[in-house]
């Protein structure tokens, strides 16, 4: 297949709303076929239909990152319909605190946290990322320029969160969401190290404080603004970075 004839296929998990949807919209504008990963079939189909109405090529795909059956079914469908995958954006995630920002949630204080909640957060934010990435790797290896983008948070930065005079000093400690995103950062580095020889670029991104359901719409950035760094890392040139952690402003300290 020539580069000119190669149609780029992108899968975005948790793409029916928020940052994931905004990233999917932008990738569709750039000419990619975008697969809208969503747990809810109806919501995924509605999002895909909206992107097609705007002129993009979008398809809904049922994908619950905590359900290995749907993960494998999604990989099999992509294999059957396209034979490859160029971009994987691991965007799906949960806060563990309902509609309250996890960084303001008293139920995540380490000394009193409910371990069931911690396990649920890690099941989606960490183990779900591994499940989806591993299922999609055979398809990504067939791309001439595969990219993996893992959606993290500034709160994942041990440098920032450990500074008593830093930007997170006033926020409550978290035993669930924040550590799960730190683990995601560590996984990003390990995948990047393993896949460097395959020319698969793997990076983590911090979208910023975006107006989404996860913070009860208190964020000051629009989903499109938050998605900009996702799209930038998803469309890196061959000499782009791998194993990094970036926001729209540049590298984020580990």
Determine the longest span between alpha carbons in the chain, in angstroms: 57
Closest residue by Cα to residue 26 from 240, 247, 236, 230: 230
Q: How far is residue 185's CA from residue 205's CA, in Å, rounded to a whole number?
A: 9
Known catalytic residue at 177: yes
Looking at 181, 191, 197, 209, which residue is catalytic? 181
Known catalytic residue at 209: no
Q: How far is residue 223's CA from residue 22's CA, in Å, rounded to a whole number?
A: 6
SS3 123: helix
Looking at 8, 17, 177, 197, which residue is catalytic? 177
What number of other Cβ atoms are within 10 A of residue 155's Cβ?
21
Kindly give the pairing relationship between strand 9-12 and strand 33-38: parallel
Question: How is residue 149 written in tokens?
Answer: 């983008």
Query: What are the two backbone dihedrals, phi and then psi, of residue 19, each rounded to the nearest 5 degrees?
Result: -65, -40
Active site residues: 177, 181
């Amino acid at each position: 297949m020539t580069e000119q004839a190669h149609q780029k296929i992108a899968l975005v998990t948790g793409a029916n709303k928020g940052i994931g949807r905004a990233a999917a919209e932008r990738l569709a504008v750039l000419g990619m076929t975008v697969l809208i990963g969503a747990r809810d079939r109806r919501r995924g189909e509605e999002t895909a239909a909206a992107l097609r109405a705007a002129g993009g090529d979008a398809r809904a795909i049922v994908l619950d990152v905590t359900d290995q059956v749907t993960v494998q079914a999604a990989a099999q469908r992509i294999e059957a319909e396209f034979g490859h995958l160029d971009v994987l954006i691991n965007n799906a995630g949960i806060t563990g605190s309902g509609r309250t920002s996890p960084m303001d949630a008293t139920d995540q204080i380490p000394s009193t946290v409910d371990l069931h909640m911690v396990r649920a957060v890690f099941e989606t934010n960490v183990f779900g990322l591994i499940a989806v990435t591993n299922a999609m790797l055979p398809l990504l290896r067939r791309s001439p320029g595969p990219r993996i983008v893992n959606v993290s948070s500034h709160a994942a930065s041990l440098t920032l969160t450990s500074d008593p005079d830093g930007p997170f000093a006033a926020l409550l400690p978290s035993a669930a969401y924040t550590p799960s995103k730190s683990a995601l950062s560590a996984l990003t580095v390990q995948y990047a190290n393993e896949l460097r020889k395959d020319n698969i670029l793997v990076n983590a991104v911090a979208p910023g404080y975006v107006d989404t359901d996860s913070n009860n719409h208190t964020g000051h950035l629009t989903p499109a603004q938050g998605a900009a760094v996702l799209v930038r890392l998803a469309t890196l040139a061959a000499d782009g970075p791998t194993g990094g952690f970036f926001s729209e402003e540049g590298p984020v300290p580990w």
